Amino acid sequence: MLSSSYEQRRSQIEHYFDRTAAQAWARLTSDAPVGRIRATVRAGRDQMRQTLLSWLPEDMRGLRLLDAGCGTGALAQVAAQRGAQVVAIDISPTLVQLAADRLAAEQPHLVGQVHFAAGDMLDAALGDFDHVVCMDSLIHYDTAHIAQALAQLAPRTRRSMLFTYAPRTPLLALMHRVGRLFPRSDRSPALSPVATDALAAQLQAQAALSSWRDGRSARISQGFYTSQAWEWHRP
């Protein structure tokens, strides 16, 4: 069951990515030139994607992967190249369409391997997976929502869940406070800075995760991009 606070947050995020930021996001995730600040974000995100991909098997033939909150679909493309059957879902129909168009234009031979869908990444109708990746798709949710999301995904995941969160650092806390000075209409949904200890405690408290173990973790910090990746897996 999805809580009403989760649904409320998801709807703000959908509005932001589907309308306010769709064009900027399309540009950031392309090769088009961007300003200096966004270039650091692009570089940080590229490094994060490489890190998450390095935690997945090189040969993914016969494996099913959920790209949960796929955005414009860069990670889904690489997973499909490795042979995975991919479900790429995003709450923003605009971004899902862009992801599907990009795959068809850039790697038409992989089109049959990626099923694109617009909707909630927690939808049980998506089926079972070997791996689930939430790259920066949970960073706008608070600690309790992140733990609940992973608890919902765990029973349908056979091997590992890779996700990122915005780590609580002094710089992020400052940016969070500064962000609150802007009028609400100009703001993106604020990142939710997460303390690792608090997140670990909430994850360990989830019955659905009792047989799971935490694995690798890595923090990527490049200019204006800071995100922490964490692997949870079945033993």
Ligand X SMILES: C[S@@+](CC[C@H](N)C(=O)[O-])C[C@H]1O[C@@H](n2cnc3c(N)ncnc32)[C@H](O)[C@@H]1O
Residues that bind ligand X (CB under 6 A): 10, 13, 17, 29, 69-71, 74, 89-92, 95, 120-121, 135-137
Question: SS in 3 state form for 144-196?
Answer: HHHHHHHHHHHHHEEEEEEEEEEECCHHHHHHHHHHCCCCHHHCCCCCCEECH
CB of 235: closest distance to ligand X in angstroms?
27
**29 vs 113 by CB, closer to ligand X:** 29
**110 vs 229 by CB, closer to ligand X:** 229
CB of 27: closest distance to ligand X in angstroms?
13
CB of 209: closest distance to ligand X in angstroms?
19
Question: Closest CB to ligand X belongs to which residue?
Answer: 71
CB of 24: closest distance to ligand X in angstroms?
11
**34 vs 211 by CB, closer to ligand X:** 34
Measured from the Cβ of residue 134, the count of other Cβ atoms closer than 10 Å reads 25
CB of 167: closest distance to ligand X in angstroms?
15
Q: Which of 164, 158, 152 is nearest to 121 (CA)?
A: 152
Instruction: Name 129's bridge partners.
Output: 157
Q: What's the rounded Cα separation, in Å, for the pair 235 and 214?
A: 9
SS3 (DSSP) at 226 = strand
CB of 198: closest distance to ligand X in angstroms?
21
Can you state the angle between helices 93-106 and 74-81, rounded to 10 degrees? 40
**110 vs 166 by CB, closer to ligand X:** 166
Residue 10 DSSP label: H
**89 vs 161 by CB, closer to ligand X:** 89
128: burial class by Cβ within 10 Å (0-12, 13-18, 19+)? exposed
- Please provide residue 128's backbone torsions phi and psi, each rounded to the nearest 5 degrees: -100, 155
**155 vs 213 by CB, closer to ligand X:** 155
Torsion of CA 56, 58, 64, 68, to 10 degrees: 40
